[in-house]
Copies of this chain bind each other. A is one copy, B any other.
């Protein structure tokens, strides 16, 4: 999730420590920009010089240099190794980002994704030569449709938001096929930002549906908002407050009765996979973030994959390409007129066939867990979140009461009232304790939200340590012992960064110095 970084314009701090000569501090190095390193002519890749004429370049040969620095391999490796050492990671610690499902990324996934038969395969190679890759995609499709109880799945979306777009365009096509033009999408106020943004991209207008006091979508308000102009609702379930929507089937029925479709944001599927099938809840389309529920690594921001499972009503409108098996071999249908009767693909989401590199990882995860392991993982994720909720609710403030929650525990900042400590301070102090902060200020429906998703990957011992630290921090804050919150983090590679200044006068790239640098 992505609301963790409320702009901060921190004051300055003083460092009383004896500074080092180098600026480095033990194992932590200051890292120059790659552009500040390097010498002309140097390279980290040896490529033989070739004879080449300009005759075939249409007169468009590059006139000047690109401006890239030249470094040897050892320097490049050191640069990136040092950079990596400035990062937190799941491998190094608990990463309780609510809505993000920062679970363990098994190493076997990485190994399998690198099998040449999956990785060194071209998307437009003759189809008879890439049957192994097709088989992997097809196997993953089987797992996804089986686990969700949905008849079809569109594989090309490249992440959750792209999946949302795919889902809404499918709905649009289905409506058009019915000869209807509905322009409105209902989105709860607790929805993730991608939901309204996607609705807008897909050419719809967004109408917000309020939440109830207890963190659910107001089903009555939703029903009241339904009408002939409503194309679909976009509902997250479990929702972004970490709660299962108890009236979900009722809402689905109402939506269908109103001639609209039920798009489910499946970002939180990790709470229910193997225990609940969205298809049984009346869902028409749902994206699945393979990079959340199915453990493909987040990689510092991506890539992901967002396949969209579809109900029978929507399946015919799935976008190109379509993977089919003719009883003999797999075939990727890339053009509408090659598709089977009844298929009315709405178009194409992107070049080629989707995120194969993520598919092989997710499939490895699924085969490793098995259906029993996936169910157990969901249960453990929910259990761990409830354990945290139960262990912290007396010292922090849980806006929606006693629980149970699903896979994430939501707190608000009322426990910090009057302490001078904000949710942000609290989060930054966690950094000094060796933890990545949780998601904060999201969802928007509670004040100063603190959303903790431990996932199923933490041991009880790890959860207990985490709880101990958070309890102690909460108690200290309430007792007026605020030293560790002031100006935190103190022990990270950087103190708080000035986000306001960054936005006011954006410096978005390195630029060569105007004047040639004086020689050393």
Contacts and interface: CB of A to CB of B under 8 A. Distances in A.
A296 B464 CA distance: 42
Contacts of A368: 46
A461 B26 contact: no
A431 B27 CA distance: 8
A349 B171 CA distance: 74
A78 B106 contact: no
Interface in A83-107: 85-89, 91-93, 104, 106-107
B82 A92 contact: yes
A472 interface: yes
Interface string A12-37: 00000010111011111100000001
Contacts of A468: 21
Contacts of A459: 37, 39, 72, 74-75
A492 B27 CA distance: 6
A221 interface: no
Contacts of A490: 18
Contact of A77 (B21, B82, B91, B465): B91
B74 A26 contact: no
Contacts of A434: 20, 22, 24-29
B91 A81 contact: yes
A492 B92 contact: no
Which of A21, A46, A85, A465 is most buried by chain B, counting CB atoms within 10 A of its CB? A21
A208 interface: no
B21 A472 contact: yes
A461 B37 contact: yes
A461 B78 CA distance: 13
A464 B29 CA distance: 16
Contacts of A491: 20, 25-26, 28
22 contacts: A20-B433, A20-B434, A20-B491, A21-B472, A21-B473, A22-B469, A24-B433, A25-B434, A25-B491, A26-B491, A27-B28, A27-B87, A27-B92, A28-B491, A72-B459, A73-B106, A73-B107, A75-B459, A78-B93, A81-B92, A85-B85, A464-B520
Given A21-B473, A74-B458, 20 more contacts: A20-B432, A20-B434, A20-B491, A21-B433, A22-B435, A22-B469, A26-B492, A27-B87, A27-B434, A28-B434, A28-B491, A72-B459, A74-B457, A75-B459, A75-B462, A77-B107, A81-B89, A81-B91, A81-B92, A85-B92
